[in-house]
Amino acid sequence: MPTKGTRTTTRRARATRARANRGLRAIDLFSGAGGLSCGFEWAGGRVVGGIEINEDAAATFAQNHRHAKVWTSDIRELSPKKIVKEIGPIDVVIGGPMCQGVSQRGPRDPKDERNFAFWAFAKFVRELKPRFFLMENVPALVSDVHNRSLAIAVFEELESLGYYLAADVMNAAWFGVPQLRYRTVVLGSRESQPYFPTVAERGVLGRIPESEFKTVAEAIQDLPPVDAGGGEDDAAMPSLADDATPYAEMMREGARRLYNHWSSDTDEVNLARIRAVPEGGNWHNIPKDILPTRFLEVRPSDHTTTYRRLDRTHPAHTITTECGNVTSGAYTHPVQDRAITVREAARFQGFPDRFRFVGPRGAQYKQVGNAVPPLMAKQIFEALLGMVPVSMFKGRITLDVLRQYPEERLPFILAPRYKLLFGQSPWAARKRKDQLTLALG
Q: Which of 69, 283, 330, 289 is nearest to 178 (CA)?
A: 330
* Model pLDDT for residues 107-139, shown as the tens digit of each residue: 555 566 667 899 999 999 999 999 999 999 999
In degrees to the nearest 10, what's the CA dihedral of 190, 139, 309, 241?
-10
* In a shared domain, residues 283 and 203: no
Question: Which of the residue ranges 19-23, 164-168, 287-291 would you say has the lowest mean pLDDT?
Answer: 19-23
* In a shared domain, residues 58 and 181: yes
| Residue 258 resides in a domain | yes
Distance, in Å, from the CA atom of 170 to the CA atom of 381, rounded to the nearest integer, reads 14
| Residue 429 resides in a domain | no
Cα 331 to chain centroid, rounded? 16
* In a shared domain, residues 159 and 262: no
> Is residue 100 a contact partner of residue 148, using CB atoms and an 8 Å limit?
no
Residue 234 burial by Cβ neighbours in a 10 Å radius (0-12, 13-18, 19+): exposed
| Residue 248 resides in a domain | yes
Percentage of residues in the chain with pLDDT exceeding 90?
A: 76
112: CATH: 3.40.50.150
* In a shared domain, residues 19 and 93: yes
Write down the pLDDT at residue 8: 52
| Residue 151 resides in a domain | yes
* In a shared domain, residues 151 and 197: yes
Domain region containing 330: 216-370
* Model pLDDT for residues 293-329, shown as the tens digit of each residue: 888 888 777 778 899 999 999 999 999 999 999 999 9
| Residue 438 resides in a domain | no
Looking at 353, 370, 387, the residue that finishes a domain is: 370
Strand partners, 132: 92, 189
Dihedral class, residue 129 (left if φ above 0, else alpha if ψ from -120 to 50, else beta): left
For residue 388, give Cα distances in angstroms to 19, 196, 199: 11, 10, 12
| Residue 428 resides in a domain | no
The pLDDT confidence band at residue 424, using thresholds 50, 70 and 90, is very low
Highest mean pLDDT among 238-242, 262-266, 293-297 belongs to: 262-266
The pLDDT confidence band at residue 169, using thresholds 50, 70 and 90, is very high
Strand partners, 188: 133, 165
* In a shared domain, residues 73 and 128: yes
Percentage of residues in the chain with pLDDT exceeding 70?
A: 86
| Residue 324 resides in a domain | yes
Number of compact structural domains in the chain: 2
Average pLDDT on 257-286 reads: 96
* Model pLDDT for residues 63-98, shown as the tens digit of each residue: 999 999 999 999 999 999 999 999 999 999 999 987
Decide which of 425 and 302 is more confident: 302
Question: Which of the residue ranges 10-14, 176-180, 328-332, 423-427 would you say has the lowest mean pLDDT?
Answer: 423-427
Q: What is the mean pLDDT of the chain?
A: 89
* In a shared domain, residues 28 and 70: yes
| Residue 123 resides in a domain | yes
244: CATH: 3.90.120.10
Looking at 346, 370, 394, the residue that finishes a domain is: 370
* In a shared domain, residues 197 and 346: no
DSSP letter assigned to residue 401 = H
* In a shared domain, residues 202 and 55: yes
User: Is 38 labeled as catalytic in the residue annotation?
Assistant: no
Distance, in Å, from the CA atom of 180 to the CA atom of 340, rounded to the nearest integer, reads 16
Write down the pLDDT at residue 429: 45
Q: Considering 24, 62, 98, 99, which one is annotated as catalytic?
A: 99
Write down the pLDDT at residue 415: 78
* In a shared domain, residues 230 and 332: yes
